[in-house]
Amino acid sequence: LSLVSGPVYKSRALIQRADFSLADGMKPNNLPCGEVNRDLTGLPHLTTFPVNLPLATRQLIISNNRIVELPPLALNYLSDLVYLDCSNNSLTEISESTFGNLRKLAYLDLSFNTLTRIEDRTFGPLASLVMLRMTDNPGLSEIHPDAFAENAALQVLDVSRNNLTVVNITSLIALPALRSVGLSGNPWSCECDNEDLFAPSNIDPSLFTVCGSPADMQGRRLGEVGIQLRTLCHQTLGSWDYLFFVVIGFVIFAAGTVSAWVMGVIMVLYERYIKKKDEQLDVDDDEEGGEASRPSRARSETRNVFLLMCSGLPGGVTHTVGAVVEVHSACINHICKYMTLYVVDFCVRFE
C-alpha cells in the first residue's frame, strides 16, 4: 500500500500502502533497558486477562491465547502502558471504557479476533496512539465514522481483510498525522454512498482492493471502477429530460393562467351582483320613505292652517314645544264646532 509524505497528504492524497516500519521501534526488544515488559504469548490456559501485573508495565503481549474480554478495570490500572498486542485471541467486543486510562498507549494490535463493530468512543481516550492494527476480523463489518476523530497522533491504520463495505474517507483525511491506511481484502460497496473511496487520489491501482457489491461490479478493482462510478453518480441530463421539464413547466404555467382567469371572472361577477343588490335596496328604501312622508306632510299643512286660524283671533296665543302643540283656551273657544274633533285628533297625533 503506497506511502505518501506529509505535504502530499495535505493535498488530499490518502495513503493506502501500509508502512509498518514504525512498529519495529516499538517492539519490546527495541525499547530501553529497565522497562517493565510482559510477554504472555501462546499460553493455552490463558482465557482471561492476566492479573497481578506490575503497575509500571510498559509493554504487554498477550497474543495467541484464548482471551475473550479486556476488562476495563484491570487494564486501566496499567496507565503507563505504551505497547499492547492482543492479536489472535477471541475478543468479540471492545467497550468505550476499555482503554479509558491508557493515554500513553502508542501501539495497539487487535488483529485476528472476532470483533464485529467499533463504536465512536472506543479509541477516544488513546491520545498518544500512533499505530493501530485491526486486520483479519471476519465479522468486523462496521466502523463508526467518528471512531478515530480524537486520535490526532495516529499515523498508521490497518483495517485490511475484514468485512467492511463502507469507510468514511473524509474523517480519515481530517487526521493531521495520518500517513498510511490499509484497506485491502474488504468487500467494498461500489455505490454512490462510498464514492470518495474510489477517487483516483485515494487509490493505488496495484492494490488488491476490490468491489464486493453490487453484483455487476463484484471482483473489480476499485481503481478500475472509479471513473465509471463517478459517471453513474453524477449523470447529466439528456434531451428527453430537458423536454420533460419544458412540458411540465408549460403545463404548470397554463394551469396557473387558467386558474387566475377563472378567479378574475368570478370576482367580477360577484362584484356586479353585490352592486346590483345594493342599488335595489336603495330603490326600495326610497319608495318606503316616500309613502311614509305623505301623512307627515298632510299633518304639517293642517297644523299650519290651524295655527294661522288661531293667531288671528283675539287673545289667541300658541306655543310649540318639541312635537307638542298647546293651544290656549281663548283660541279654542272661537273655533267652530265642526273643527273640534279634527283639532283633538291633530293634537293627539303631534303628541
Query: Which CATH number applies to 6-186: 3.80.10.10, 3.10.290.10, 1.10.357.10, 3.40.50.300?
Result: 3.80.10.10
* Residue range 177-213, pLDDT digits in tens: 999 888 888 998 888 777 777 665 554 544 557 787 7
pLDDT at 206: 47
Q: How confident is the model at residue 143 (pLDDT cuts 50, 70, 90)?
A: very high
Lowest mean pLDDT among 49-53, 101-105, 161-165, 224-228: 224-228
Angle at 192 between CA 189 and CA 198, to 5 degrees: 65
Scanning the structure block, which residue is given the C-alpha cell 472506543? 122
* Residue range 247-291, pLDDT digits in tens: 888 899 889 888 888 888 888 888 888 888 787 877 776 666 655
- 224 vs 128, higher pLDDT: 128
What are the sequence ranges of the domains in the chain?
A: 6-186, 239-350
Neighbouring C-beta atoms of residue 338, cutoff 10 Å: 7
For the chain, what is the mean pLDDT?
75
Indicate whether 312 pLDDT > 60. no
pLDDT at 13: 40
pTM equals 0.59
